[in-house]
Structure 1
Amino acid sequence: MRLHIWHAHAITAAVGCTALVLGVTGTGVAQSQGRDLGRQVLGAGDGWGSAEGGTTGGSAADTEHVYTVTTWAEFKTALRAGGDAPKIIKVKGMIDAVSEGCEAFVTGGYDLQQYLKDYDPAVYGNDKIAMGPQEDARVASAARQDAEIKANIPSNTTIVGVGKNSGILGGSLQIKGVSNVILRNLTIEAPLDCFPKWDPTDDNNTGNWNSEYDAVVVFGTDHVWIDHNTLTDGRYPDSERPSYFGKVFQQHDGLTDIVRGANYVTVSWNSFKDHDKNMLIGNSDSTATTDAGKLKVTMHHNRFDGILQRSPRVRFGQVDVYNNHYVVTEEQKDDYYVFGVGIRSQLHASDNAITLPASASVGKALKKWNESPLTAQNNYVNGKLTDLIAVHNAEIPSEILQSGAGWTPTLRTKVDSPRAVPGIVANRAGAGKVC
């Protein structure tokens, strides 16, 4: 591992796309300093992540806790170094969490072809969960992958990519049970589950493949800023996954899930590309004891390109979604939704842009899971002002949605015209575009 030595301790407030770098002269007068992403903090008023003390990550790290890493092993070592002391980790180049391939995790005699023979519904049926030697071997192999690809992010940490082409392939960033974390300027390829589980009883006893591993999971953590990253399936798009037993061999889970009492999160200027399950805010209908009154999340100026669902799907949370651009492809038009309205959610979605194929249902942009009013105003579909709730209720009368989330967001920076949003986020959202 290589250690960077820093000679300045200026703190930078990043407000929207403007970085205000503040140093102090001998007379106490603020002056401009050279920009360093690792020293930037979330600007005042920039979403829920700026509330209750704000999000500063590892910006105050001393010289002993600033690292540059070029391998997955170095990255995990840097995360463990120094406990919860402020730290900055610079990721240089694309580092691979599965550099030796899925074969490196196989144990216990697991063999996919044998697994398929053993649990073929024509042989095994659909009345009980998968059990037996091959399932045991799958579980053991999955445990080896789990231990290798998950990276636990400690409190008071900033992780930034160096330049335009740095990030993580196949790793799962676990921001779990901590506080004050920043992720910026990273290209993150979603982890591929090497050992999906076949559940014969799933999907009304027709069976289904289930996978693990989110690219980023925010779990029971407060004050997180996820900014200017590109998150994608990359080399392994779902469209290229095979089918077994008539079901897609699902090897991806979420891109960014915010769950289990996580709170005060700002997700800004990211590019989410070509993925099915994008963002879950609140993971279960039964977690009121941990989630009620929390899951305060702001999402702004993100681009979702080739989305299918959960952008986001919300339970319990007071979630502000503005100035995002959602692009649905021709292939996805029949199964997509953008905003999922879940139990006791308070979703406020305004000033967004949605681009749909000409024949797609506009009403499907909203999906009702539970009876929870939402605010959806000043949103544009294909360049036209559209009342998403009214269109949804007209097109899908079996899922009538009520208007009025019951709150008005105040923690916003500049709100751009939704007609300008597609061009703005195309040019400025994602890794390598921090300005």
Structure 2
Amino acid sequence: MRPFRSRAPQPGGPQAPRARRVRTASAAAGCAALALAVTAPLSAPAAAAESHRYSVDRAVLGANDGWAAAEGGTTGGSAADRRHVFTVDSWAELRAAVAHGDADTPRIIRIKGTIDAHTDAAGNALACDDYATDGYTLPGYLAAYDPDVWGSADPSGPMEDARVASARRQAAQIRLDVGSNTTLVGVGRDARLLGANVQIRGVENVIVRNLTFEDTFDCFPQWDPTDGADGAWNSEYDNLVVYGSRHVWVDHNTLTDGRGADDDTRHFGQPYQRHDGLLDIVRGADLVTVSWNVFTDHDKTLLIGNSDGAGATDRGKLRVTLHHNKFRDIGERAPRVRFGQVDTYNNHYVARDADAYAYTFGIGFESQLYAEKNYFSLPRSVPAGTVLKKWSEAPLTAGDNLVNGRKVDLIAAHNALNPDTPLRSGAGWTPELRDRVDATWAVPGLVFLWAGAGKLAWHEPRGTGARGAEGQRP
């Protein structure tokens, strides 16, 4: 699709509504192409639908906005009646709201302020020691499975059993399962979920907007002596997981380690990582649009397809669009792809620490990545050939990408840097569902202004107070 004139998103949505576009070229040589948006008259029902699209809590995905717009589109809980619109400001209320009603009832759940998943029903703060059971302690675990004592076998026995039991208690506390036909949306500029593991699992038609997901940490990482040459610590709990679900729109959120970023702690000579991914799209998930988000301060960030052996569930699925997102100070996986037809365009990738940066796009088993018009801001010591990393033989398309302001053929750069493991050009498909495509040079400014939580205009219904006309407690 040809780019048209860059245009800042309007309050309440990425761009003002329009029915059709007319493109015209300037007669002056060297001038950029212009685009004029012309809005045709709408019928009353269509006008109402357009109005809802730009009301934050009743928004629906645009008709051409990425893979989640295919096959009927994504509307979330926009059709919820007043009895199924909730405003919550505690973890207990949030869990009650997602469980309210039957599985298919449309619902809107509005989150106000900061909600910490590590709080009990009375609002008391919980710590890792509150989940530990059956005698688990970290010093005890380290003593039991020190490679000099235990060797290279997988951990087993009482202390590993205690770790597993403790981990289950944490998982039961922090997991939030979102049902079908749900909109989960932050109110205003400061809605935040701390430590939560939000699961969109085996459902359809979900929208997540205007939330900061922060510091989903694992109290009980597992030591795996067989992971790599020297072993590794593995943690659980992504901030947000799309697992076997269809029609999901993740928009204008911020996902970060934030307050709990992993430090330099090492055990058994390896980094003691307490964070897994920020966003995983796995196990047959399909028709997902991820737009105008900020992913920041994290290592292994975004996984699409989690196993080379998952062809029975993943082949022909994992169709995902990523556009107008900012990835800042992330180490890798932005995304790492298996199987899926993934469209990544108009994203801004910012790496400031050369030592912490590994790669951006991971080319995995049977993937068909289409990477176009993305902007990369990299340290000068990092060669452009590191943007792509080949994990398996798979074709991709990469065009009109800029690295530090210069147009770079990312595939050619990779192949020059890695002549023994070249990548093949030509993903074998062309994206069609693109609501807007901006010139690559404009991406950093647009994403800076509009991506992330707190960037949508929020208007409470007039005369209803802070909770709003539809903001009942669950």
Task: Call closer, same or farther: CA 1:151–1:34 in 2, change over 3 Å.
Answer: closer
User: Counterparts of 1:216-295 in structure 2 under 5 Å?
Assistant: 216-238=240-262, 240-295=263-318
User: Counterparts of 1:326-337 in structure 2 under 5 Å?
Assistant: 326-332=349-355, 335-337=357-359
* CA deviation after TM superposition for structure 1 residue 32, in Å: 5.6
Residue in 1 that maps onto 2:64? 45
Matched, 1:418 2:414: no
User: Counterparts of 1:270-419 in structure 2 under 5 Å?
Assistant: 270-332=293-355, 335-419=357-441
Moved more, 86-95 or 206-215: 206-215
User: Counterparts of 1:82-231 in structure 2 under 5 Å?
Assistant: 82-83=101-102, 84-98=104-118, 99-126=125-152, 128-204=153-229, 206-231=230-255
Task: Call closer, same or farther: CA 1:28–1:414 in 2, change over 3 Å.
Answer: closer
* CA deviation after TM superposition for structure 1 residue 26, in Å: 10
- Of 87, 97, 114, 1:68 maps to 87
Task: Call closer, same or farther: CA 1:18–1:354 in 2, change over 3 Å.
Answer: farther
**Matched-pair identity in %:** 56
The AA in structure 2 aligned to 1:61 is: A
Residue in 2 that maps onto 1:5? none
1:13–1:42 CA contact under 8 A, matched in 2: no
* CA deviation after TM superposition for structure 1 residue 34, in Å: 11
* CA deviation after TM superposition for structure 1 residue 402, in Å: 0.5
Per the normalisation by structure 2, the TM-score is 0.85
Paired residue secondary structure (1:420)? helix
Task: Call closer, same or farther: CA 1:80–1:19 in 2, change over 3 Å.
Answer: farther
* CA deviation after TM superposition for structure 1 residue 242, in Å: 1.1
* CA deviation after TM superposition for structure 1 residue 33, in Å: 7.7
Could you give the per-residue CA deviations for residues 79-108 of structure 1, whole angstroms, max 9, x where no partner exists? Answer: 010122000000001100013121211111
The AA in structure 2 aligned to 1:252 is: H
Matched, 1:56 2:75: yes
The AA in structure 2 aligned to 1:101 is: A
Could you give the per-residue CA deviations for residues 136-185 of structure 1, whole angstroms, max 9, x where no partner exists? Answer: 11111001001111111100000000110102100011000000000000
Residue in 1 that maps onto 2:6? none
The AA in structure 2 aligned to 1:64 is: R
Could you give the per-residue CA deviations for residues 10-37 of structure 1, whole angstroms, max 9, x where no partner exists? Answer: xx995646699x9986999989689631
User: RMSD of aligned C-alpha atoms?
Assistant: 2.3
Paired residue secondary structure (1:104)? helix
The AA in structure 1 aligned to 2:112 is: K
Residue in 2 that maps onto 1:428? 450
Paired residue secondary structure (2:167)? helix
The answer for unaligned runs of 5 or more in structure 2 is 1-10, 20-40, 119-124, 458-474
1:71–1:96 CA contact under 8 A, matched in 2: yes
- Number of positions where the alignment pairs a residue of Structure 1 with one of Structure 2: 419
Higher RCO, Cα 8 Å, sep 6+ = 2
Could you give the per-residue CA deviations for residues 285-341 of structure 1, whole angstroms, max 9, x where no partner exists? Answer: 0111111111110000000000111100111101100000001122445x5111111
* CA deviation after TM superposition for structure 1 residue 133, in Å: 1.7
Could you give the per-residue CA deviations for residues 194-224 of structure 1, whole angstroms, max 9, x where no partner exists? Answer: 00001222213x2211100111110110000
2:305–2:318 CA contact under 8 A, matched in 1: yes
Name the CA distance, whole Å, in 1 between partners of 2:352 and 2:77: 39
* CA deviation after TM superposition for structure 1 residue 132, in Å: 2.1
Paired residue secondary structure (1:75)? helix
Could you give the per-residue CA deviations for residues 44-68 of structure 1, whole angstroms, max 9, x where no partner exists? Answer: 1000010000000000000110001
Task: Call closer, same or farther: CA 1:27–1:46 in 2, change over 3 Å.
Answer: closer
Task: Call closer, same or farther: CA 1:27–1:425 in 2, change over 3 Å.
Answer: closer
Task: Call closer, same or farther: CA 1:91–1:345 in 2, change over 3 Å.
Answer: same
Task: Call closer, same or farther: CA 1:268–1:102 in 2, change over 3 Å.
Answer: same
Residue in 2 that maps onto 1:4? none
Task: Call closer, same or farther: CA 1:255–1:45 in 2, change over 3 Å.
Answer: same
1:13–1:41 CA contact under 8 A, matched in 2: no
2:53–2:62 CA contact under 8 A, matched in 1: no
1:295–1:317 CA contact under 8 A, matched in 2: yes
The answer for unaligned runs of 5 or more in structure 1 is 1-11
Task: Call closer, same or farther: CA 1:26–1:192 in 2, change over 3 Å.
Answer: closer
Name the CA distance, whole Å, in 1 between partners of 2:329 and 2:45: 52
1:316–1:342 CA contact under 8 A, matched in 2: yes
1:72–1:96 CA contact under 8 A, matched in 2: yes
Task: Call closer, same or farther: CA 1:26–1:402 in 2, change over 3 Å.
Answer: closer
The AA in structure 1 aligned to 2:246 is: D
Name the CA distance, whole Å, in 2 between partners of 1:282 and 1:191: 20
Residue in 2 that maps onto 1:7? none
Paired residue secondary structure (2:412)? helix
Per the normalisation by structure 1, the TM-score is 0.92
